[in-house]
Amino acid sequence: MSDTPRTDAEDFYPHHSNKKVCDADFARQLERELNAANERIKRMEEVGDEMLSWLPEDGISMKNLRQFENEWRKAKEAKL
């Protein structure tokens, strides 16, 4: 099984060439999706770091736990 099935489905040999290529629009779409995924990962990491800062040294309070849960849900649902 390929680790690039979408690209494999789109690639082709252009006339007079022995190299496979993909359409530029397809490549741009993949790049947009990659950028969006990387941005979401960055936001999730920032939210996770922020939530960890809420934890007191002696444990977590119910207030912090609810705030942690609400922020985590918002971060998971946020998509570009």
Instruction: Show the 3-state SS of 11-61.
Output: CECCCCCCCCECCHHHHHHHHHHHHHHHHHHHHHHHHHHHHHHHCCCCCCC
Residue with tokens 């996770």: 48
How do the domains of the chain map onto residue ranges?
5-77
Q: Are 45 and 24 in contact (CB under 8 A)?
A: no
More confident residue, 60 or 16: 16
Q: Write the pLDDT tens digit of every residue in 36-59.
A: 999 989 988 888 888 777 777 767
Q: What is the pLDDT of residue 70?
A: 82
Confidence of residue 24 (pLDDT cuts 50, 70, 90): very high
Amino acid letter, 55: L
Of 21-25, 31-35, 45-49, minimum mean pLDDT range: 45-49
Average pLDDT of the residues in 9-21: 87
